[in-house]
A and B are shown apart, each in its own frame.
Chain A
Amino acid sequence: MRVVVADDAVILREGLARLLQEAGFDVVGLAADADELLELVESAEPDVAIVDIRMPPTHTDEGLRAAQEIRRRRPATGILVLSQHVHPRYALELLRSGTDGIGYLLKERVSDLAELSSSIERIGQRGSVLDPAVVGQLVDKRRPSNDPLEQLTAREREVLALMAEGRSNRAIGERLYVTEHTIEKHVKNIFATLRLPPSPDDHRRVLAVVAYLNAQ
């Protein structure tokens, strides 16, 4: 699998590249900031871009914005954003542009090479990866102890799993040989069961996926 790495700290950029090569990935380029990364994605056409969230010039959320830009220009590229902080808000902003082929992990997860490899591979196969620490903050603490995911029907769980892969209602319908309309009904039931009220910038789809990933 072809990957690129973007991080302004040389020590981490080089270290990560070495680590990934060791794990069998084909590291096709390195970038030190968001602009370099965007050029690299255009030229090297990687399967997955691994991006540090905090890069020059402002050292705030450049990596996040670069990820959204990549999603806009080359939607086929999987994106893994690494952060030293647990910011569920950034994860949600990232997932809003689509849940397929997207991941948000804490930087320290790189110490577990096996886990990191499998995450990158899942992203490369259009799945989603969310750091457990982030999911922990996103999932409502006041949720009753009996998990509402348990209350979903087998069919609804199947739909939710396909949602977590980033598929649209129509794609899920094609996969399960039913109409898009039927899938819409299932999705509405899932939202109701998971007690996700309608929100203006409809986070519900993302939150449902988060709940699903949390239970995995």
Chain B
Amino acid sequence: MSARLSLIAVAGAAAGAAALWLAAHSSYDRPTEPGVALTFVVGASLFISGLLSWRQRPDNRLGPVMVCTGFAWFASLLIEVQTGWLYTVGEAVQYVYVAGFIYILLSFPAGRLQTTLNRCLVMAALVLGVGFELAAMLFGDRRGLRCTGCPHNVIRSFADNERALKILDLQRILGGALAFTVICLVVLRWFRASRPERRAAAPVLLAGSIALLALIGTIVNDETGNPFDRAPAEIFFYSFALVPLAVLLVFLQRRLARGGVAGLVVELGEPTAPAGLREALARALNDPSLELAFWIPAESRYVDPDGLPVVLPGAERERSSTVVERDGQPIAALVHDPALDHDAELVRSVCAAAALALENERLHAELRAQLAELQASRARLVEATDAERRRIERDLHDGTQQRLVSIAMSLGLLESKLPAGAADAPALVRETREALALALAELRDLTQGIHPTLLAERGLPAALDELCRRAALPVQLELKLDHRLPDQVESAAYFFTSEALTNAAKHSHAGSVRVRASIDMPVLTIEVADDGIGGAGTGGGSGLRGLTDRIEALGGRMTVSSPPGRGTTLRAEIPCA
């Protein structure tokens, strides 16, 4: 590689030396001639930038294109040769470098012409520069080619200078239109570009546009008898010389950006939050819009740092993404500005440097996703339990309870039909009837314990009110609830109060209990405080443990405060969102 580049450098130097000699010995004075200094500046700019870019980015075609344009630039100096056939070659290829220039401008920074329009414009530049020139040379010589001091054109076939001049006029008009079209495309691209893209392309596009404007200026100057003398041509040559340097500058900047990866490695050595990791990567890549997505292998999908699913951008060019792999497995993806696609190497080095930190973050994100799933699954379990309780209550009501009531009615009927002197029978029937009433009362308590119908039908305040009225201890109830809450929240609050009242009656030796329920959106707080002996353990009964699970499944928490001799306070906080 470097041997080939050295060979090209030597060839370029030789061609340059020859061109400079020719420029120094120019025998005629046209306003479009670059002169020794500009020949050197433009040629050196193209060769040096081209070779360095070539070495820096072997995969990018811009380096070779700039070098070729440099050769074409030197070749255009052949026009100064006094030998007929060499002059003729020089005359024919004198505008090839302009096509190279347009190629550089349109293909920057990828080095490839990406649309058909771009390819057509470069082809058109070649046709105008070489094709039209050859056509004019078939008819014209010296004056007909606007070069009275030049040697004779060896390929002239028809002596018709007027026609040759007309062809050259057309060539210049079309050339101006072509330059104008390219300027339009450059401006359009500027407006469509994202911020990082603009920052990268600005020097190249600016110098290129000025050069094209100056090129149009030279054509106008030429067609109107050179009122501006050499000014437009000199502006063109200088700004043209800036374009390869600007390209090189961008490539070198990216090399510097890769130097920033070292800073990233140091930064990632420190403990960071996911936001910190994103910021560090965004800084290293110079893309504030950067987003992170983590790969969850179990679900074969990407999630954001909060554990929510993310879809990577597809083929559309709004956003672009790069997958970070470790041991052949994807661990994360960077969703970034498409401008970074032109600098795959930087993205690769950043990914390599951040792979470990990203893997770490990925595990965190996976854990968060699993926790979210676990929480959802607990909530579903509670919901399923509630549905099951509802079903059992309904079955008991429609089945067993009704049958028992029906039996009770039959007994009542039987009792009324017993003959007056039936010995023990009436007493026996009454006993049976009373036992049945007891069974029904117990069944009623059981079904209300399984699923309090009043809670579903009249809401938490009514159900708590009734619960407190039924309680074994006198209860003072303070409610600050003004609207219905989600079913699971009401159920959890109800069963919590019920269990707490039962515990107070069983273990606390309390004289009375105070129940307070209030809502401070979005949290429902219920407190059951007795004036008993205190000293209750946090372990509580199995009923309380189950309630803690139920409340925690809803994202709430339960606390017990029970200092000896100062009563027991159970407190539940349940989010209602």
Contact = CB atoms under 8 A, between A and B. Distances in A.
Interface residues of A, number: 31
B318 interface: no
Contacts of B412: 19, 110-113, 116
Interface string A14-27: 01101100110000
Contacts of A22: 413, 416-417
B431 interface: no
Contacts of B462: 89
B444 A85 contact: yes
A138 B469 contact: yes
Given A85-B444, A111-B436, A60 B453 contact: yes
A12 B404 CA distance: 10
Interface stretch (B28-36, B226-234, B394-402): B394-402
A88 interface: yes
A184 interface: no
Interface in A98-120: 107-108, 110-114, 116
Interface residues of B, number: 37
A15 B406 contact: yes
B554 to A, nearest CB: 24
Interface string A54-72: 1000011100000000000
B437 interface: yes
B386 interface: no
Contact of B409 (A12, A87, A114): A12
B416 A110 contact: no
A18 B410 CA distance: 10
Contact of A19 (B413, B441, B456, B466): B413
Interface in A58-97: 59-61, 84-89
Contact of B469 (A11, A88, A111, A113): A88
Nearest to B456: A60
Interface string B459-488: 000100110011000100000000000000
Chain B binding surface SS class: helix
Interface in B270-288: none
Contacts of B454: 85, 87, 89
Contacts of B466: 87-89, 137
Contact of B402 (A11, A87, A114): A11
B306 to A, nearest CB: 40
B544 to A, nearest CB: 25
B262 interface: no
Interface string A112-145: 1110100000000000000000000110011000
A9 interface: yes
B474 A18 contact: no
B469 A137 contact: yes
A110 B408 contact: yes
B246 to A, nearest CB: 78
B564 to A, nearest CB: 27
A110 to B, nearest CB: 5
Contacts of A141: 474
Contact of A54 (B397, B465, B469, B474): B397
Nearest to B397: A84
B402 A9 contact: yes
A165 B486 CA distance: 41
Contacts of B406: 11-12, 15
A59 B394 contact: yes
B444 A84 contact: yes
B501 to A, nearest CB: 13
Interface in A1-48: 9, 11-12, 15-16, 18-19, 22-23
A111 B338 CA distance: 83
Nearest to A16: B409
B411 interface: yes
A84 B456 CA distance: 16
A22 B436 CA distance: 21
Given A111-B409, A113-B413, 16 more contacts: A9-B398, A9-B402, A11-B402, A11-B403, A15-B406, A18-B413, A19-B412, A59-B394, A60-B453, A60-B456, A85-B447, A108-B437, A108-B440, A113-B415, A137-B466, A137-B470
17 contacts: A11-B403, A15-B410, A60-B457, A85-B454, A86-B444, A87-B453, A87-B454, A88-B466, A89-B454, A89-B466, A107-B405, A108-B408, A108-B436, A108-B440, A110-B412, A137-B466, A138-B469
